[in-house]
Amino acid sequence: MTTLTTPPTTTLQLSPEPGSWVTVCEEGRLTPGRGVAALLPDGRQAAVFRDRAGRTYAIDNRDPFTGAQVLSRGLVGSAEGRPFVASPLLKQRFDLETGRCLDDDEVTVAVFPVRSRYARET
């Protein structure tokens, strides 16, 4: 008897709370330089990004200046070697590693740890 299996896939997970991991999507579905929104179990949203070097980041999707869930639609770039996303509404830039607003030192967004996991489908 022959068993057919598919090759392993890599899923992207993030940790909205210490000690818990949530599967977001297959890693290959992320387009470098663009973001996607992910709904978390507690109703919050995360903005997930992959840069052109293959690093992944996840921050809160809520723009703290407007309250809109739009950061996943922002423009990705870098300033002084730091990756950021610029809000599509008012253009404030948020560091993807720290969540710090590069345009207002008093404002931050949450940052979520991200990991890749291999999952074999049968």
10-23: pLDDT as tens digits: 889 999 999 899 99
Q: Indicate the DSSP class of residue 98.
A: T
35-87: pLDDT as tens digits: 999 999 999 999 999 988 889 999 999 999 999 999 999 999 999 989 999 99
Q: Indicate the DSSP class of residue 66.
A: T
Distances (CA, A) of 20 to 14, 102, 122: 8, 29, 26
- Contacts (Cβ under 8 Å, ≥6 apart) of 34: 49, 76
pTM of the full predicted structure? 0.87
Q: Indicate the DSSP class of residue 29.
A: G
Identify the three-state secondary structure at position 81. coil
Distances (CA, A) of 38 to 12, 14, 62, 76, 94: 11, 10, 12, 17, 18
CATH assignment of 10-116, among 3.30.2310.20, 2.40.50.100, 2.102.10.10, 2.60.40.10: 2.102.10.10
The string of DSSP codes covering 36-65 is EEEE-TTS-EEEEEE-TTS-EEEEESB-TT
Q: What is the mean pLDDT of residues 109-113?
A: 97
